Amino acid sequence: MNFDFLIPYIDKLIYFILILLILYAITLVKSKAKNRALKSDIKEITDNKEQVISKYKKEIEEIRKTHELDIARRKYQYESKREAYYKFLMFLDNYNAKASSEMTEKFFPLVDEFMSSYLKASNKNSKKEENAILTRFFSKTNKVTKEAYEDYNKLKMETNTIKLSASKKVLEELESLENMTKEGLDEATKMMKRMPTLILSNDKDFNKEYQDYIEIYGKKAEIIKKYLIEFMRLDLNQI
């Protein structure tokens, strides 16, 4: 085939081919650059993804540890407070039982002893012996009273122990318990001091007054204990 007709256009063809080659080279370079940029972007995205995953893994782990620590703390707080409340209620039951038994086992026998001894001394018309019996009676009742106040101080020590972690409502009932117990002891002490005079004057209202006092005190103690237990239960449930 004769291509002589192309000879006049050879320069233009070469120029055209060079332009095509240059355009191809430029396109190739751009494509490679684009691929490199894309690879770089992909690497950056991958790195960022790994960083984000690592960051959230750490945050999730910290949240989990914090949650576990909070659960452990609340569990310890619940168990320690429950144990403290339980021990206090046991102490309170023993305190009330001891107070009741000592009234029966110590104080009433003193009254019986006083009445019997004083009656004998009175029949002998011996003022000296009567005074000695009165002195002995007051000495023994003072000893009983002293022991009662010592037990009350032990009760206060027990209440102070749980006041450190008790709720506001529990604190209020503990204060009521302390105040009522102190008032009860003070009133009982006054009655003991008045008792010989009232017995000797044959005051029949005294026994009723004393029994009424014991009954009222007992009811108050039960009411306070009831509320105390209820507020302790609520306090534990809120942990």
Whether 102 and 183 share a structural domain: yes
Q: Which residue range(s) make up the domain with 184?
A: 81-237
pTM of structure: 0.68
CA distance 178 to 190: 18
* 182 within a domain of the structure (yes/no): yes
Whether 46 and 89 share a structural domain: no
Whether 233 and 123 share a structural domain: yes
CA distance 138 to 148: 15
Residue 28: alpha-carbon gap to chain centroid: 76
- Looking at residue 173, its pLDDT comes to 92
Q: Locate tokens 């619940």: which residue?
A: 78
* 220 within a domain of the structure (yes/no): yes
* 75 within a domain of the structure (yes/no): no
pLDDT bucket at 87, cuts 50 / 70 / 90: very high
Whether 37 and 97 share a structural domain: no
* 200 within a domain of the structure (yes/no): yes
Mean per-residue pLDDT, 68-83: 88
Whether 14 and 56 share a structural domain: yes
* 73 within a domain of the structure (yes/no): no
Whether 144 and 215 share a structural domain: yes
Whether 123 and 197 share a structural domain: yes
CA distance 61 to 67: 10
* 25 within a domain of the structure (yes/no): yes
State which of 18, 34, 68 marks the end of a domain.
Answer: 68
Confirm if 78 and 236 have CB atoms less than 8 A apart.
yes
Instruction: Count the helices and strands in the chain (H runs, E runs).
Output: 5, 0
**Domain count of the fold of the chain:** 2
Whether 123 and 218 share a structural domain: yes
- Looking at residue 233, its pLDDT comes to 92
Whether 128 and 91 share a structural domain: yes
- Residue 216: CB partners within 8 Å, gap ≥ 6? none
* 202 within a domain of the structure (yes/no): yes
More confident residue, 211 or 60: 60
Q: What distance, in Å, lies between the first and last C-alpha atoms of the chain?
A: 103
196-207: per-residue pLDDT in tens? 777 777 666 666
- Looking at residue 102, its pLDDT comes to 76
Whether 97 and 197 share a structural domain: yes
* 4 within a domain of the structure (yes/no): no
Whether 58 and 104 share a structural domain: no
Whether 27 and 89 share a structural domain: no
